[in-house]
Amino acid sequence: MSVLLGRIAPQVILPLFYKFEPIDDPELKSRMEKLAREGHFQLQGVYRFNMSKETKKANAAFTGMGKSRRIIIGDTLLENYSLDEIEAVFAHEVGHYVHKHLHKLLLWGTIETFVGFYLVAQLYEALLQQFGFRSPADLAALPLITIILTLYTLIVSPVSNVLSRYFERQADRYALEHSSNPAAFSAALQKLSEQNLTDTEPHPLIEFLFHSHPSVQSRIKMAEKFSKKKD
């Protein structure tokens, strides 16, 4: 089912919600196709869509599977960013694809879920009698399950965020290595943070506990170091 949805979504489902048009800028199209070739995936085409009807945020991505894979770029990105900046944003997305981050996150999520169910069940059984409940089916014990699940989530979420931030840094490095102008990556990050109302430098503890992405300032510093080494 997921494979079928992946194939039909770009041509059947997404057009129900957004208007898609082929990109007519030859330079932009050429750059996107070059990134696709370097990422070793087939491409049906490069399209713009009216993202502005839903949000002021900007983004680019690729959708679909196999021969139905498309690059889609929001009009909010096309109208406010330079060619170099758009290329850097999409190169980051290609980095996620090349490093198979989606597959790895799905695997981690599956492991996290099954381990969570097992630990919650074991702890629930162990605590039932201590709290005076007669059996696992006792409805009065439902708040106990909620408390255990909440504690498990509080413990596991920071671990998931550490993994996610590591993947984001990998995708950042890929973008810096494969885009034409590494300096444009920093400019794009700054624009995106302002457009998306992002806290660019949260407290380290807040970032560790709650953020799935590294801080914008740390990503910009990494890009600046990369540019200096390249020069």
Residues marked as catalytic? 93
- Please provide the DSSP assignment of 95-148 as one string: HHHHTTHHHHHHHHHHHHHHHHHHHHHHHHHHHHGGGT-S-TT-GGGHHHHHHH
What is the Cα–Cα distance from 150 to 203, expressed in whole angstroms? 23
Long-range own/partner contacts, residues 62-68 (CB < 8 A, 24 or more apart): 62/36, 62/93, 62/94, 62/97, 63/9, 63/10, 63/14, 64/6, 64/7, 64/9, 64/10, 64/11, 65/3, 65/6, 65/7, 66/7, 66/42, 67/42, 68/6, 68/7, 68/8, 68/10, 68/11, 68/44
- DSSP annotation of 17: T
